[in-house]
Structure 1
Amino acid sequence: MAGRLRAPTGRYAGKSAAERQAERRRRFLDAALELFGGAPGYRATTVAALSEAAGLSTRQFYEAFRTLEDVLAALHLQVNDWAEEAVLTAFTGARDLPLEDRVTAVFRAYAGNVTADPRRIRITFVEIIGVSPRLEEQRLARRSRWVDLICAEATAAAARGEAAPRDYRLAATAFIGGVNGLLHDWSAGWVEAALDEVVEELVRQLLGILRPQGWQPGGSRAA
């Protein structure tokens, strides 16, 4: 019967069909991180090359994915999930700290996670660009999640009297673009600075947004 290949059912080597399928999917994503995030890159990788790198067959590829673009989409989401998890963990650990210390902890966690593996930066900031309208929509949607996170935390800080009360969405959107650009340029060697210096600069910029000139704790402005 014509149609997409179906994965086998039943248990084998102590694993269910679903467990084996999940393991093969992980192996394809691991191989994609290596090939898409390094050499030769997404556009020069074939299904056959990816399958060989994963130690699997092309038949098994089509049991897990429809196209290489599906693999890139899944990998992009995974890389963002890793960074988001690191940030949320940092937020939890720094919840009771002063604003500057909270911001520093969060950006150190984000920058450390993203830059720990240059392949992740390439997936997030290079390979995903210009592939298709679908992936562009996904990229912007994930960036919007980061904007939402900053807006939520900034609004909470304003409610505590730690930051100026305002609509932060426009500023947060501009700031996230700057974060992405700086981290990409730093990873590419175009910015001569230690990672700690990059984090300190990002912290200064965000604090400048949260606490504009003339603003004082408690919500008032200097006369």
Structure 2
Amino acid sequence: MTGRLRAPTGRYGGRSAAERQAERRSRFLEAALELFGDTPGYRATTVAALCEAAGLSTRQFYEEFRTLEDVLAALHLQVNGWAEEAVRAAFATAGGLPLADRITVFFRAYADNVTDDPRRIRVTFVEIVGVSERLEEQRLARRARWVDLICAEARAAAARGEAADRDYRLAAAAFIGSVNGLLHDWSAGWVDATLDDVVDELVRQLLGMLRPPDGPAPPG
């Protein structure tokens, strides 16, 4: 299959073609979250199995996607988008708090979102890894968005005198690796701790990163 089939146009059952297409796409992604994020996983899922789980036909699949890799790519972006929306909503409510409290609110929002459904963690941290060069580029691009977000918050903290005034990109990249690894290991049951313990540890790590060299801890 070299390309998507053309979806029907016009209204049917009181819904537009765009509305029907959005519903089909949503059903495919919901089915993909179940199959890719649980059993049997992305690599063992077939188009036929995904269509059966979604309650749709293979023709409808090829009207929306070219390959299962396209589905995984869309699902990965969706899961990351949910987490980013949760963090940005936290930004909007915690701007006036001291640094340590702000960071706790941000990471609580992120951790609650990604751990609310273990399937999201598997899609983001396991199933997406090593699939293809294209998906590796997408995965790293999404990681770069999180690095940018941390760097922006670090610059804002530095402007308030709460953090050292330096380039945080390298430190932020290392920190994102810690976040991904610790949350994955916690969700897999390899870390004997509560989610509160995990969030507290990540907050301590980030506060240490923001601390001025040879100086006191940031306020808060």
TM-score range, shorter chain: over 0.9
What RMSD in Å do the two structures reach over aligned CA positions? 1.6
Distance in structure 2 (CA, Å) of the matches to 1:148 and 1:185: 24
Residue number in structure 1 paired with 2:22: 22
Where does residue 82 of structure 2 map in the other structure?
82
> In the alignment, which residue of structure 2 is the partner of 1:158?
158
**Map of 1:117-128 to 2, 5 A cutoff?**
117-128=117-128
Q: Does structure 2 retain, via aligned residues, the 8 Å contact 1:161–1:217?
A: no
Q: Using the alignment, how far apart are the partners of 1:14 and 1:71 within structure 2?
A: 28
Percentage of pairs with the same residue: 81
Are the counterparts in 1 of residues 5 and 62 from structure 2 also a CA contact under 8 Å? yes
The code of the aligned residue for 1:116 comes to D
Give deviations 1:17-69, integer Å, cap 9, x for gaps: 11101110000000000000000000000000000000000000000000000
Contact 2:207 2:217 in 1 (8 A): no
Q: Which has the higher contact order (CA 8 A, sep 6+)?
A: 2
- The letter of the residue matching 2:149 is L
SS at match of 2:66: coil
Distance 1:98 1:60, change over 3 A: same
Q: Deviations over 1:172-192 (max 9, x none)?
A: 000000000000000000000
Aligned to 2:97: 97
Q: State how far apart, in whole Å, the 2-side matches of 1:37 and 1:66 are.
A: 20
TM-score (norm 1): 0.95
1:1-223 alignment runs, 5 A limit: 4-212=4-212, 214-216=214-216
Q: Residue 208 of structure 2 contacts residue 217 of structure 2 at CA under 8 Å; is this kept in 1?
A: no
Is the 1:6–1:63 contact (alpha carbons within 8 Å) kept by the matching residues of 2?
A: yes
Deviations 1:84-106 (A, max 9, x none): 00000011110000000000000
**In 2, Cα distance between equivalents of 1:217 and 1:199:** 18
- Whole-angstrom CA distance in 1 between matches of 2:206 and 2:62: 45
TM-score, normalised to structure 2, is 0.96
Contact map agreement 1:125 1:180 (CA 8 A) in 2: yes
Runs (4+) of structure 1 exceeding 6 A deviation are: none
Unaligned runs of 5+ in 2: none
Count of residue pairs the alignment pairs up: 218
Q: Residue type matched to 1:28 in 2?
A: F
Q: Which runs of 5+ in 1 are unaligned?
A: 219-223
Letter in 2 for 1:199: V
CA shift, 1:14, in A, is 1.0
